[in-house]
Structure 1
Amino acid sequence: MKKVLGIDLGGTSAKFGVINQYGEIEQKGEVKNDMKNLLPNLVNQVMASLKEWGYDYKTDIERIGFDSPGFIDHKNGIIKIAGNLNWFDFNLKAELEKLFISKPVYVLNDANAAALGEFWTGAASKYNSEIFYILGTGVGGAIVLDGKLVTGEHGFAGEFGHGGHMQEVFSCNCGIKECLEPTTSAVGVARAMKKIFDQNPEHPVKKLLEANSVNIERLEMKDIATVYKKTKDPQLKELLLEIYKPLLTHMSLMIYALDTKAVVLGGGGSKMGQDLVDIVWEGLDNIIVDMYKKDVVISVAELGNDAGIVGAAYYAINDWEWTI
C-alpha cells in the first residue's frame, strides 16, 4: 500500500514521518534546521532516513504533506509571511517539488496541520467538526467543519489570537492593542499573573506559588499547572478564570457561530490537562446555553508532537482514493 510523508517544520527543527492510510505513524524522525541551507538539508536528511527505514521513495511514497509556521496561501502553497524563517511571498510548494522529485507536495499552516491530526486520529477523531486552539507562545487555531479544513479567503483562517476588545493589560505584537493573545497564551497567562502580583505583592496566589517553591520572576505556565494540580486551590482557579476570560469569550462566540461538536486545546497551555478543561467549562457556564453544555465536547489534544506530521499527511490525502 502507498504511504504519505508528513513533515512538520518548526522554528528550530523539523519532524517527519511515514504515515499509512489509517493515520498510523510507521516511522518518524527529527532534524535540526540548518538555516543557511534549510530545505535542501531537510530533504537530504528525510531521504536518508527513508532509505535507512527500508522504504523505496519512488514506489512507497505517494505524496508529501508539509506544514510550516506563518501566513500561508494553501491553494498555491505560497508562504505569504513567515518572519522567523525569513520567508515572504515564498513559493514553498514549487521549491519543495524541485527537491522531492516526481512527488506532489501539499503545503499548509502548522496550526491547521495539528488540528487535522487531532481530527484524524486524535481528540476529535470521533466527531465531524472541531475548533482547535493552540495556547503556546501565542494563540493560534484552526477550524474543521463537516470534515473539511476551513482555510478562508486568503488561507489565514484560525488566527484566533487577534482582533477585538479582549483585554487592556498588554498591547499585542501584531500592532493592535487589545487582542486576547498577550494574556491568554501559555506565555501570556504567566505574564498577566506576574503583572497582578506586581500590583498586589501580598496576593494570596503569589504566596501559594512561593510556598510551592516557584520563582515568581521566572514564572511559567508549567509552574502554574503543577501547583494547581497539587493543590486545586480555589483562589488560583479564580485568578485563572479572570485571566482566561477573553479566551472563554472567544470560545463561546465560536461555539455559537460554528456549531461545532469538539473544542480541542493544544500547545503549552494544555499541559494542565483535565484541570484546564474543568476550568474552561466553569468559565463557559454563564455564557453558553444548556444545549451546548450537554452536547459540546471540550478536551485537550492527544497527539502531542506527532499532530503536525499526521495532519500534514491527512491534508495531502484529503479527497483522494487510496490504491491498496
Structure 2
Amino acid sequence: MKFDERLACLALVLCAAQASAAPLDDLGVELVYDDNLTRAQLGRDIKGDLALSVSTSGGPRFQLTDYDSLALRGALAATKYRHYDGLDNINAGLALGYRRKFGLGPYVPQFALTGSASRLEYDNRLRDGWLYAAEAEASKRVTDRLALRAFVRSERRESDDVPARVVPFIRANVFDLSSRSAGIGADFACDPRYLVSVGFTWHRGDIVSTTQRNRPIFLASSAIAPDPVFGDNTYAYTMQARTRVFSIGVSREVGRQSSVSLGYEYRDSRADGGIDYSGNLFRATYLYGF
C-alpha cells in the first residue's frame, strides 16, 4: 500500500473516531529536520531531510487504588518526508502502563512500567516490521517548578522481509535490531506558561548506517542489504554502537488545551573500528489535548 493510500486510511480512522466520540487524548502536528538520516560518517553519504508528522493517541485509565493505576493507550501516526519518499510511514501502536505513587500529593515519587508493540509500515518494504519496547521510569516533582526523571528501556525491532544476501556469510536482515538505553531528564517551569526540558540518554545496541560501499563499515557490520531509499549503489549496514543523545526543548501554552514547543537533539555514536557519526535534529510541535 502506497503512502497516499495509507494517509487516506489514517484520515478515515480519525474521522470515524471523532464521529463515534472515541476517547482520543491528544492530536499532534510536528515538523522535524534531521541532518543525518543515513547515520553516516563520510560527507558524501550524509543525507538530511524535512518531515511532517501527524499523530493522535488515547485510551482508558483505570484507578486500582489510591496509589496504583493502569492505562491502556493506542497511538497512530503518519510521517511524510520532503525528498526521501521511501521513509514515508504510518505506524500504529498499543501500550499498557502501570503507575505507582508512593504517597499522596504532587511531590511524592512515582514509578512506572510500560510495555508496547507498534506496527511499522513504510513505502520501502525493507523497513516494514514490528517494534517492541519495555520501559521503567522513576520520577519526582521536587518543587512546584522542577521535576526530575530517570528511565531504562529495552527495544526489539523485527522486519517482515529479508532480502537476498549481498555477501553469502553475512545476514541481510538489517532491520532486525535490539538495544538498551538509560536516561535522565528534568523539566523546569520558568513561567506559568513556559516549560523548559533537558535530557541525556545513553544508548547501546544496534544501529543502521546507509552508505556507499565502505570497507571499514563492512568489516564492522553484522548485516548488509541494498538500501535504494537514498540512491543507487547504497547499502544499509547493521552495527553495534554506543550512542549519546543530548536534548533540550521549550514548550509554551497557547490555550487551555494546546501548546507549541521547539526542541533540539544532538546524537553522537561510536562503533568498533573507529567508525563514528554525529547528527542534529530540530523539531517544532503543536499539541492539542481533548
> Normalization by structure 1: what TM-score?
0.22
> Normalization by structure 2: what TM-score?
0.23
**In proportion to residue count, which structure has more strand?**
2
Larger RCO (CA under 8 A, 6+ residues apart): 1
**In proportion to residue count, which structure has more helix?**
1
